[in-house]
């Protein structure tokens, strides 16, 4: 059964794409595509093959979309629409520094659908008991950890150590990654000092501009929980290329247009 195989894939965090035929007598026919295997049949072997290839391309990009083919899978055909839904593992949130803010941030990260890891070099502070919501609590030097951790465009790095001893080596490693968000906690003065240190060691202004510091949106957050909300807002706003003000003050549509727009 396709559904059971899909459920197994999701449980084991294996990337999978579910393809549904939207037109013709075989409407609803299913195909489940993994990186190296596929199950199911969309009606013709040509269509099944073409949709499998397309599903793997979308899976690699983590995208969900509608594609149109000929009845036998011809790429220029317009007979059959298929819906390709990519299921990719949750993105990673790495929180550096096991402090009060980390506990609130870990909880917020879980709430937003991240796999959350908290990293701190001090075994006394980096404990599961202090960070109950984190998926992983790791005792390691932050820069050592990040140098070998998986990072992609969906990865979020939150640096709460605010100690130059940890921050600067970590920011050097962070700027070499493709992480979608790099936030560093600290006052304006702390951040100015960081920028100075990074510049002295050869980092360009464009690289330094990737760092969100002081971290978060300007909502006047006071508690660790409110700060987590402020950081979460900034993470989403940057991903969506938004400024993060009040909707009441704006004129843009409330939701950004999506890739699948106008495909039907």
List residues binding another protein (CB under 8 A).
1-3, 7, 10, 18, 20, 22, 27-28, 30, 40, 64-66, 83, 85, 87, 253-255, 257-258, 260-264
CB nearer to another protein: give 20 or 48.
Answer: 20
Tokens of 68: 């149109």
Q: Classify strands 65-69 and 115-120 as parallel, antiparallel or unpaired.
A: unpaired
Query: Tokens 């950004």 appear where?
Result: 256
Q: Which ranges constitute the DSSP H helices of 29-114?
A: 45-61, 100-111
Find the shortest distance in angstroms from Cβ 154 to another protein: 14
Find the shortest distance in angstroms from Cβ 90 to another protein: 9
CB nearer to another protein: give 85 or 193.
Answer: 85
CB nearer to another protein: give 71 or 225.
Answer: 71
Do the beta carbons of residue 118 and residue 136 sit within 8 Å? yes
Strands, sheet with 181-184, edge to edge from the N-terminal-most edge strand? 136-139, 115-120, 92-96, 156-159, 181-184, 211-212
Q: What is the CA radius of gyration of the chain?
A: 22
CB nearer to another protein: give 16 or 185.
Answer: 16
Alpha-carbon dihedral 256, 217, 152, 147, rounded to 10 degrees:
170
Find the shortest distance in angstroms from Cβ 39 to another protein: 10
Do the beta carbons of residue 128 and residue 150 sit within 8 Å? no
Find the shortest distance in angstroms from Cβ 251 to another protein: 13
Find the shortest distance in angstroms from Cβ 239 to another protein: 13
CB nearer to another protein: give 13 or 192.
Answer: 13
CB nearer to another protein: give 58 or 231.
Answer: 58
Find the shortest distance in angstroms from Cβ 177 to another protein: 26
Do the beta carbons of residue 94 and residue 158 sit within 8 Å? yes
CB nearer to another protein: give 107 or 172.
Answer: 107
Query: Tokens 């050592």 appear where?
Result: 144
H or E, element range at 93: strand 92-96
Find the shortest distance in angstroms from Cβ 4 to another protein: 9
Name the phi and psi angles at 45, rounded to 5: -65, -35
Q: How far apart are CA 121 and CA 99, in angstroms?
A: 12
């Amino acid at each position: 059964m396709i559904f059971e195989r899909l459920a197994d894939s999701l449980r084991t965090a294996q990337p999978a794409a579910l393809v549904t035929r939207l037109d013709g007598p075989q409407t609803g026919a299913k195909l489940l595509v993994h990186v190296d295997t596929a199950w199911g049949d969309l009606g013709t072997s040509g269509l099944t093959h073409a949709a499998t290839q397309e599903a793997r391309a979308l899976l690699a990009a983590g995208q969900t979309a509608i594609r149109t083919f000929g009845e036998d899978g011809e790429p220029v055909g317009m007979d059959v629409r298929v819906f390709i839904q990519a299921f990719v593992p949750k993105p990673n949130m790495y929180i550096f520094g096991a402090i009060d803010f980390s506990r609130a941030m870990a909880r917020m990260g879980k709430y937003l659908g991240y796999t959350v890891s908290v990293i701190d070099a001090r075994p006394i502070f980096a404990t599961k008991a202090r960070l109950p919501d984190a998926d992983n609590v790791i005792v390691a030097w932050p820069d050592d950890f990040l140098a070998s951790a998986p990072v992609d465009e969906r990865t979020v790095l939150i640096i709460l150590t605010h100690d130059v001893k940890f921050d600067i080596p970590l920011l050097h490693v962070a700027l070499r990654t493709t992480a979608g968000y790099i936030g560093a906690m600290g006052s304006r003065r702390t951040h100015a000092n960081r920028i100075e240190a990074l510049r002295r060691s050869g980092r360009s202004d464009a690289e330094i501009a990737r760092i969100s510091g002081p971290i978060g949106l300007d909502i006047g957050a006071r508690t660790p929980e409110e700060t987590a909300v402020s950081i979460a807002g900034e993470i989403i706003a940057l991903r969506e290329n938004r400024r993060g003000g009040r909707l009441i003050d704006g004129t843009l549509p409330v939701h950004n247009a999506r890739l699948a727009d106008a495909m039907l």
